[in-house]
């Protein structure tokens, strides 16, 4: 299989002299910027740092689980490591990654606006994120926290003697970062669309980011106040969650999952939006069933709020409540299935090329399908009773979170990299790392489905020896996966200096963001674009000549 | 039960496997067949409402079959037979304490005979734990401050893993044990050895020792309600509600007596929160329960509380 970098060559004189990157080189011009593109870069740097921190914790977990005995670290250390892996990855990586990096960069461009509606609030969001991150780093360095990222009471309020308060406050602050981002996106989409860009002409990434923003502003206050209650209970012994003080520990689980289940959709919806951009572009087709894909995002956001108690089937809720939440969990699967079917149907009679973003899109569709279908197994209560709190659940949500969100993010990052930096990444290396990610991911997490059904509980520091073989496979997969994640960091940085210049629209993609320079000027467009076409009008856009026909396999 | 869970799981695997294969093959075939070729352009297709509706409705109805099957199993799992043998389980960081009605106590082990319905009545002394027997495909969270139940009927003798499945602190992964399933005759031998007094007898002694019997008399003259026949009956409350006197009700009435005042009585009972341990509570609940069962020949218990406040120092309270 020959892998050849598909790189258009653009003469240097086509590079815009003044763009958002060259508009000031001082630290102050970055740290006090209100340019959504620069803020996206700030997020890119800080969120990536947290990703590698969370990944480091993941490697420690996998190394400990290489042997059945707890031999690499103490039990308490292990409990802190998986807790911090979860908190870092969920609150500091998965939730902000696509909206705050890719959304921040391309959303105003896609709607033809000069910036987001509230540029200063956008900067404030980033500072809140950093404040939360610094507070959590302090929490980690001052001993860490060992409650699991789920903070279940009364363990977190009465039993744990670790730094729960700082961790809770960090999540509280990070929550406001996400609320402000969501607010900014909603107002921008409502008020700042270019003339002619009606709702039915919006790119699907806008639809999904819009739906995400609704969940952000409606759900996040609940986790914020829940964290405040945990902190208050720990400090003042209020008796909200602790049964010894007259509280109800299951109440915490309801409040926590009322946000944290919709939060799963905060993570996955933007990535679904990315896939809805990539697939039409590399199939040279308008997306199949635009209206259904767009509305399914809204349906997911709405139904996502009605399924939280499916995390509580064995927690002591009533039989009938469990039945209702089980049924609703099947309902929420329908709009997700609609998306997968439509992406697949978009390929039909297309003219398909296999650039790296498209490979990630294929990976997303496959892995999200497995993640979604195992979610359906978990919604089946009789099965959930057995596999909940086991590695089956771990595997399921990593298929959705890592196989889904991260695949979508990496696909989107490669897709918009020429727009963000003005340069192409090395296609061969990118394809190789996509392969590493796909193989490593499946080897890491597929064995965990089997482990879970065999009964290995989650959050175990030591385990019966019969589970070892599958754990060794999983750890081996994790090392391949790690290479797949480190490679892009190296070649993307390399491409900043040595990558071939991209030109305005290297993919021949539809969407307003490709109608301005790469990198875009500070205010995005020299004159406000007027939209007279439907989204994904690929019949009107010539295919980029430079892209080579794929080598048949 | 395990085989029923496996059956629905296999059904799910088959349907999901077919679904995954369909998507994978469709993506692979379409992306190769319609790869970019010179002289051929993509055909723009708007969409198809018929297709959209069918790939929404058909999966939905398939999923309804998942829902119904899963719900039926769950319903069985949550509905213990009325005559199941009851066993009390107390969880604490990081061990399982088991108390059989006949008086045997175990730690991190649960001996049960084959062919008999066993109902576990579980509570926790500290944080939330979860009683998980993978071989039986069963799991139930164990909560502080209330009872949850789990029932099963073991069919094959052997040792099975018991895990704690809800993260509970440092030695969460060490909070396991064995479910020992024995042939009924072996179980009878095991049960005969090393038993202390039956649980309800301990409860009866505690009932006297804590002075409960002064108010909760077996005639209608006490300051508190007569507890004969109370268990599982419908109790009218002072605030107009009617509740069922289940395990949790009895437990709550001991720990927080004013929470649910029985119609016609005064809120005069003091709380026993912090005075009785979880083990003692279980014994008291078992005793109150025994007041509602017809005396059986084998148990041979006198269901009459010791009427006089017996001297507490004579009672062996563990």
B110 pairs with which residues across the strands?
B179
The nearest CA of chain B is from the CA of A259 a distance in Å of: 20
| Average of per-residue pLDDT across B160-166 | 96
Asked if residue A7 belongs to a domain, the reply is no
Classify residue A239 as exposed, middle or buried by CB count within 10 Å of its CB (0-12, 13-18, 19+).
middle
Tell me whether residues A386 and B40 touch, CB distance under 8 A. no
The nearest CA of chain B is from the CA of A474 a distance in Å of: 19
* Segment B211-230, tens digit of pLDDT: 888 888 777 777 888 888 88
pLDDT grade, residue B310 (50/70/90)? very low
Cis status, amide bond into B276, omega within 30 of 0: no
User: Percent of chain A having pLDDT more than 70?
Assistant: 95
* Segment A322-361, tens digit of pLDDT: 999 999 999 999 999 999 999 999 999 999 999 999 999 9
Q: Is A546 on the interface with B (CB under 8 A)?
A: no
B119 pairs with which residues across the strands?
B86, B151
User: Does B301 score more than 50 pLDDT?
Assistant: no
Which pLDDT score, from 0 to 100, does residue B291 have?
82
Chain A interface test: which of B30, B60, B129 (most A C-beta within 10 Å): B30
pLDDT grade, residue B299 (50/70/90)? very low
User: Does A163 score more than 70 pLDDT?
Assistant: yes
B143 vs A316, A381, A386: nearest CB: A316
A344 vs B8, B27, B36: nearest CB: B27
Asked if residue A160 belongs to a domain, the reply is yes
Chain A interface test: which of B59, B70, B76, B149 (most A C-beta within 10 Å): B70
Tell me whether residues A314 and B173 touch, CB distance under 8 A. no
Which chain A residue lies closest to B150 (C-alpha atoms)? A314
* Segment B171-180, tens digit of pLDDT: 999 999 999 9
Judging contacts by C-beta atoms under 8 Å, the chain B residues touching residue A154 are 126-128, 144
* CATH code of the domain containing A506: 1.20.210.10
* Segment B233-248, tens digit of pLDDT: 888 888 888 888 888 8
* Segment A437-481, tens digit of pLDDT: 999 999 999 999 999 999 999 999 999 999 999 999 999 999 999
Tokens of A328: 């609703």
The nearest CA of chain A is from the CA of B222 a distance in Å of: 28
Judging contacts by C-beta atoms under 8 Å, the chain B residues touching residue A337 are 55-56, 59
pLDDT grade, residue B193 (50/70/90)? confident
Contact predicate A35/A522, CB 8 Å: yes
The nearest CA of chain B is from the CA of A553 a distance in Å of: 9
User: Does B115 score more than 70 pLDDT?
Assistant: yes
With residue A335 as reference, give the H or E element that holds it: helix A319-347
Which pLDDT score, from 0 to 100, does residue A15 have?
52
Contact predicate A380/A326, CB 8 Å: yes
Judging contacts by C-beta atoms under 8 Å, the chain A residues touching residue B257 are none
SS3 label, residue A458? coil
Which pLDDT score, from 0 to 100, does residue A55 have?
96
> Which of A 439-458 lie inside 8 A of B, CB atoms?
453-455, 457-458
Q: Is A350 on the interface with B (CB under 8 A)?
A: yes
Judging contacts by C-beta atoms under 8 Å, the chain B residues touching residue A462 are 173-174
Contact predicate B155/B115, CB 8 Å: yes
Chain B interface test: which of A162, A350, A453 (most B C-beta within 10 Å): A350
pLDDT grade, residue B194 (50/70/90)? low
Which pLDDT score, from 0 to 100, does residue B227 have?
85
| Average of per-residue pLDDT across A111-117 | 95
User: Does A419 score more than 90 pLDDT?
Assistant: yes
Which pLDDT score, from 0 to 100, does residue A553 have?
34
* Mean pLDDT for all residues in chain B: 86
Which pLDDT score, from 0 to 100, does residue B285 have?
85
- Which has the closest alpha carbon to B182: B252, B286, B82, B106? B106
User: Does A244 score more than 60 pLDDT?
Assistant: yes
Tell me whether residues B172 and A286 touch, CB distance under 8 A. no
Number of structural domains, chain A? 1
Chain A interface test: which of B31, B93, B276 (most A C-beta within 10 Å): B31
* C-alpha span between A421 and A89 (Å, rounded): 26
Judging contacts by C-beta atoms under 8 Å, the chain A residues touching residue B69 are 380, 382
Judging contacts by C-beta atoms under 8 Å, the chain B residues touching residue A350 are 30, 34, 42
pLDDT grade, residue B294 (50/70/90)? low
B1 or B224: whose pLDDT is higher? Answer: B224
Tell me whether residues B126 and A342 touch, CB distance under 8 A. no
Judging contacts by C-beta atoms under 8 Å, the chain A residues touching residue B165 are 388-390, 457-458
Which residues constitute the domain of residue A250? Answer: 30-535
Which range among A227-236, A275-284, B137-146, B282-291 shows the weakest confidence by mean pLDDT?
B282-291
Asked if residue A282 belongs to a domain, the reply is yes
pLDDT grade, residue A405 (50/70/90)? very high
Asked if residue A541 belongs to a domain, the reply is no
A352 pairs with which residues across the strands?
B35
Helix A356-379 crosses helix A249-283 at what angle (to 10 degrees)? 150
Which pLDDT score, from 0 to 100, does residue A420 have?
96
The nearest CA of chain B is from the CA of A269 a distance in Å of: 19
Residues 6+ apart with CB under 8 A from A132: A91, A92, A170, A171, A172, A173, A174, A177
Asked if residue A15 belongs to a domain, the reply is no
Judging contacts by C-beta atoms under 8 Å, the chain A residues touching residue B271 are none
Residues 6+ apart with CB under 8 A from B167: A79, A147, A148, A150, A152, A155, A458, A459
| Average of per-residue pLDDT across A261-274 | 95
> Which of A 115-144 lie inside 8 A of B, CB atoms?
none
Which pLDDT score, from 0 to 100, does residue A17 have?
66
User: Does A4 score more than 80 pLDDT?
Assistant: no
> Which of A 327-346 lie inside 8 A of B, CB atoms?
327, 330-331, 333-334, 337-338, 340-342, 344-345
Which chain B residue lies closest to A162 (C-alpha atoms)? B169
Asked if residue A12 belongs to a domain, the reply is no
Tokens of B68: 């119904």
User: Does A23 score more than 90 pLDDT?
Assistant: no
The nearest CA of chain B is from the CA of A226 a distance in Å of: 18
Tell me whether residues B47 and A289 touch, CB distance under 8 A. yes
| DSSP of A203-233 | -HHHHHHHHHHHHHHHHHHHHHHHHHHHHHH
* C-alpha span between A29 and A50 (Å, rounded): 23
Quick one: how far is CA A420 from the chain centroid?
A: 19
Q: Which residues of B252-262 are buried (b: 16+ CB within 10 A; e: fewer)?
A: bbbbebeebbb
| Average of per-residue pLDDT across B159-185 | 94
pLDDT grade, residue A154 (50/70/90)? very high
* Mean pLDDT for all residues in chain A: 92
Task: Determine phi and psi for A547, rounding to 5 degrees.
Answer: -70, 130
Tell me whether residues A288 and B34 touch, CB distance under 8 A. no
Pseudo-torsion of CA A110, A115, A116, A120, nearest 10°?
A: 160
User: Does B316 score more than 50 pLDDT?
Assistant: no
The nearest CA of chain A is from the CA of B117 a distance in Å of: 19
Q: Report the alpha-carbon angle A124-A404-A200, nearest 5.
A: 70
Which pLDDT score, from 0 to 100, does residue B234 have?
87
Pseudo-torsion of CA A205, A206, A207, A210, nearest 10°?
A: 120
Q: Is A154 on the interface with B (CB under 8 A)?
A: yes
With residue B181 as reference, give the H or E element that holds it: strand B177-182
Asked if residue A525 belongs to a domain, the reply is yes
Asked if residue A470 belongs to a domain, the reply is yes
Which pLDDT score, from 0 to 100, does residue A541 have?
87
Tell me whether residues B41 and A382 touch, CB distance under 8 A. no
Contact predicate A529/A28, CB 8 Å: no
Chain A to chain B, count of Cβ pairs less than 8 Å apart? 272
Tokens of B66: 């998942």
Contact predicate A310/A379, CB 8 Å: yes
Classify residue A126 as exposed, middle or buried by CB count within 10 Å of its CB (0-12, 13-18, 19+).
buried
Which pLDDT score, from 0 to 100, does residue A31 have?
95
Contact predicate B118/B154, CB 8 Å: yes
pLDDT grade, residue B200 (50/70/90)? confident
Contact predicate A171/A87, CB 8 Å: yes
B8 vs A323, A380, A547: nearest CB: A380
Q: Is A473 on the interface with B (CB under 8 A)?
A: no
Q: Is A291 on the interface with B (CB under 8 A)?
A: yes
Which pLDDT score, from 0 to 100, does residue A521 have?
93
| Average of per-residue pLDDT across A416-445 | 95
pLDDT grade, residue A61 (50/70/90)? very high
User: Does A124 score more than 80 pLDDT?
Assistant: yes
Which pLDDT score, from 0 to 100, does residue B195 have?
62
A348 vs B34, B168, B173: nearest CB: B34
Which pLDDT score, from 0 to 100, does residue A14 have?
52
Which pLDDT score, from 0 to 100, does residue A195 have?
95
Instruction: Answer positive or negative: Cα dihedral of A519, A525, A526, A530.
Output: positive
Instruction: Say which residue the tokens 């029932």 belong to.
Output: B151
User: Does B304 score more than 60 pLDDT?
Assistant: no
* C-alpha span between A266 and A209 (Å, rounded): 9
Q: What is the CA radius of gyration of chain B?
A: 27
Judging contacts by C-beta atoms under 8 Å, the chain B residues touching residue A148 are 167
């Amino acid at each position: 299989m020959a892998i050849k970098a598909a790189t258009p060559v653009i003469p240097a004189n086509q590079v815009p002299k003044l763009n958002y990157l060259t508009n000031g080189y001082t630290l102050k011009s970055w740290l006090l910027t209100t340019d959504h593109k620069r803020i996206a870069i700030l997020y890119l740097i800080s969120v990536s740092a947290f990703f590698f921190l969370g990944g480091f914790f993941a490697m420690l977990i996998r190394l400990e689980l290489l042997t059945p005995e707890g031999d690499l670290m103490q039990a308490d250390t292990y409990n802190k490591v998986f807790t911090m892996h979860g908190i870092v990855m969920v609150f500091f990586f998965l939730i902000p990654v696509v909206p705050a990096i890719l959304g921040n960069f391309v959303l105003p461009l896609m709607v033809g606006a000069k910036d987001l509606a509230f540029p200063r609030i956008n900067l404030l969001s980033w500072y809140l994120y950093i404040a939360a991150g610094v507070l959590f780093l302090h929490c980690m360095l001052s001993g860490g926290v060992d409650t699991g990222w789920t903070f279940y009471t009364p363990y977190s309020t009465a039993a744990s003697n670790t730094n729960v308060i700082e961790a809770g406050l960090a999540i509280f602050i990070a929550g406001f970062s996400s609320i402000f981002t969501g607010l900014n996106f909603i107002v921008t989409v409502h008020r700042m669309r270019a003339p002619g860009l009606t709702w039915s002409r919006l790119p699907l990434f806008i639809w999904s980011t819009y739906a995400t923003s609704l969940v952000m502003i409606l759900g996040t206050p609940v986790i914020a106040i829940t964290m405040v209650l945990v902190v208050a209970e720990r400090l003042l012994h209020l008796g909200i969650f602790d049964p010894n003080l007259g509280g109800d520990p299951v109440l915490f689980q309801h409040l926590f999952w009322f946000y944290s289940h919709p939060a799963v959709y905060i993570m996955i919806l933007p990535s679904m939006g990315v896939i809805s951009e990539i697939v039409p572009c590399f199939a040279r087709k308008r997306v199949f069933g635009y209206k259904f894909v767009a509305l399914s995002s809204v349906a997911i956001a709405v139904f996502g709020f009605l399924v939280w108690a499916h995390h509580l089937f064995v927690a002591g809720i009533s039989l009938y409540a469990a039945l209702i939440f089980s049924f609703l969990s099947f309902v929420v699967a329908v709009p997700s299935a609609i998306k997968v079917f439509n992406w697949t149907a978009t390929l039909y009679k297309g003219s398909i090329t296999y650039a790296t973003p498209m490979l990630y899109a294929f990976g997303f569709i496959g892995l999200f399908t497995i993640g979604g279908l195992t979610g359906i197994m978990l919604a089946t209560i009789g099965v959930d009773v057995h596999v909940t709190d086991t590695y089956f659940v771990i595997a399921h949500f990593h298929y959705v979170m890592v196989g889904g969100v991260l695949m979508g993010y990496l696909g989107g990052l490669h897709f918009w990299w020429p727009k963000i930096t003005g340069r192409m990444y090395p296609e061969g290396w990118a394809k190789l790392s996509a392969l590493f990610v796909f193989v490593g991911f499946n080897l890491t997490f597929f064995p965990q489905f089997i482990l879970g059904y065999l009964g290995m509980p989650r959050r175990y520091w030591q385990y019966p020896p019969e589970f070892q073989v599958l754990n060794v496979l999983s750890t081996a997969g994790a090392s391949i996966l790690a290479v797949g994640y480190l490679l892009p960091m190296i070649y993307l940085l390399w491409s900043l200096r040595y990558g071939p210049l991209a030109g305005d629209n290297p993919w021949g993609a539809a969407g307003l963001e490709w109608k301005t320079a790469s990198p875009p000027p500070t205010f995005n467009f020299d004159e406000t674009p007027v939209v007279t076409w439907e989204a994904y009008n690929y019949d009107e856009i010539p295919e980029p000549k430079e892209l080579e026909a794929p080598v048949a396999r | 039960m395990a085989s029923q869970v496996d059956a629905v799981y296999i059904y799910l695997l088959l349907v999901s496997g077919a679904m995954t294969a369909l998507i994978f093959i469709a993506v692979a075939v379409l992306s190769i067949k319609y790869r970019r070729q010179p002289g051929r352009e993509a055909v723009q297709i708007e969409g198809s409402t018929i297709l959209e509706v069918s790939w929404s409705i058909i999966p939905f109805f398939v999923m309804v079959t998942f829902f119904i099957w899963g719900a039926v199993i769950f319903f069985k799992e949550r509905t213990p037979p009325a005559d199941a043998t009851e066993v009390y389980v107390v969880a604490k960081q990081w061990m399982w304490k088991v108390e059989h009605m006949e008086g045997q106590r175990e730690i991190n082990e649960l001996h049960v005979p084959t062919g008999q319905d066993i109902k576990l009545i579980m509570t926790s002394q500290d944080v939330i734990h979860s009683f998980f027997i993978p071989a039986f495909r069963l799991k139930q969270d164990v909560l502080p401050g209330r009872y949850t139940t789990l029932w099963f009927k073991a069919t094959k003798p052997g040792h099975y893993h018991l895990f704690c499945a809800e993260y509970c602190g440092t030695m969460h992964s060490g909070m396991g044990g064995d479910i020992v399933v024995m042939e009924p005759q072996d179980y009878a031998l095991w049960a005969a050895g090393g038993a202390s007094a039956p649980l309800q007898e301990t409860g009866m002694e505690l009932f006297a020792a804590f002075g409960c019997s002064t108010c909760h008399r077996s005639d209608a003259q006490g300051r508190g309600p007569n507890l004969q026949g109370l268990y599982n009956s419908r109790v009218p409350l002072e605030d107009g509600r009617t509740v069922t006197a289940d395990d949790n009700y009895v437990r709550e009435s001991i720990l927080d007596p004013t929470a649910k005042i029985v119609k016609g009585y005064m809120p005069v009972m003091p709380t026993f929160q912090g005075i009785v341990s979880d083990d003692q509570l279980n014994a008291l609940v078992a005793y109150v329960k025994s007041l509602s069962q017809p005396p059986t020949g084998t148990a041979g218990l006198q269901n009459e509380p010791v009427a006089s406040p017996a001297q507490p120092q004579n009672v062996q309270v563990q």
